[in-house]
Amino acid sequence: MILMAPVSISRIMVKTLFLMFFSFSLTTSNLLAQNNYKKWEKDSLLTWSDFKGTLDTPSSFGAMTNWHMPYSYHWSLKNGIYTLKFKVEGAIDRSRSWSKADKQTNALLAHEQLHFDISEIFARELFIELNKKAYTANYKNEVLDIVASVFKSATEMQQKYDEETDHSKNKIKQAEWELYVKHLLETAPEIK
């Protein structure tokens, strides 16, 4: 399960969610240096020990992965041309990811891993989109617009994944998504 905005997101909701996300993302390097954040890495799978958060409200779900696409950038201006250098990563917040001990199965953990993998796919897309843009003096808003657009797409894919797999209960759809996400990870350019 993921905790994000509904698929039919209004522009105001996207901007609000994005501003919360952006405030998180501005301190990317500090947050990822803390033990609460786990950066996506090819050979580092989630374990149940990554789910350190507590469930504050009743939920019918067995687990929730709190995923992020933290980013930061530096800019320079030379001869009237703005140049921005970006850092983008897929990550989870361990302190906000939770699981119910009696629901901790390998199947559910594999489902949560795909949420983490999807965040990495969109972190890569965000990196590409941010680097395609020719920026102006309005670069802060231009960056925000790109991040909001990619974040919206990521949220929609995360929700579609949960809906189609019925939160891991539909084994056939879960297997289809695993193949699909594996393909996307293999074909999406890695962030350098």
User: With contact defined as beta carbons under 8 Å apart, do 108 and 171 qualify?
Assistant: no
Question: Residues 124-149, buried b or exposed e (16+ Cβ, 10 A)?
Answer: bbbbebbeeeebeeebeebbeebbbe
What's the N-to-C CA distance of the chain in angstroms?
30
Question: Residue 63 to residues 12, 60, 89: CA-CA distances in angstroms?
Answer: 28, 9, 22
Query: Nearest 5 degrees, angle CA 47-CA 71-CA 9?
Result: 85
Tell me: pLDDT of 111 over 80: yes
Average pLDDT over residues 156-179: 97
In the chain, % of residues over pLDDT 90: 78
DSSP 8-state assignment for residue 191: P
Tell me: pLDDT of 23 over 90: no
pLDDT at 56: 78
Tell me: pLDDT of 169 over 90: yes
| Amino acid occupying residue 141 | N
Instruction: Please state the pTM of the whole predicted model.
Output: 0.83
Rounded to the nearest integer, the mean pLDDT of the chain is 87
Question: Residues 97-120, buried b or exposed e (16+ Cβ, 10 A)?
Answer: bbbeeeeeeeebbebbbbbbbbbb
Average pLDDT over residues 50-65: 92
Task: Find tokens 């020990």 and name the residue.
Answer: 49
Q: Among 24-33, 72-81, 107-116, 155-164, where is mean pLDDT lowest?
A: 24-33
Average pLDDT over residues 46-53: 97
**DSSP count for the chain of H helices, then E strands:** 5, 7
Q: Report how far residue 134's alpha carbon sits from residue 166's, in angstroms, rounded to the nearest whole number.
A: 41
Tell me: pLDDT of 140 over 60: yes
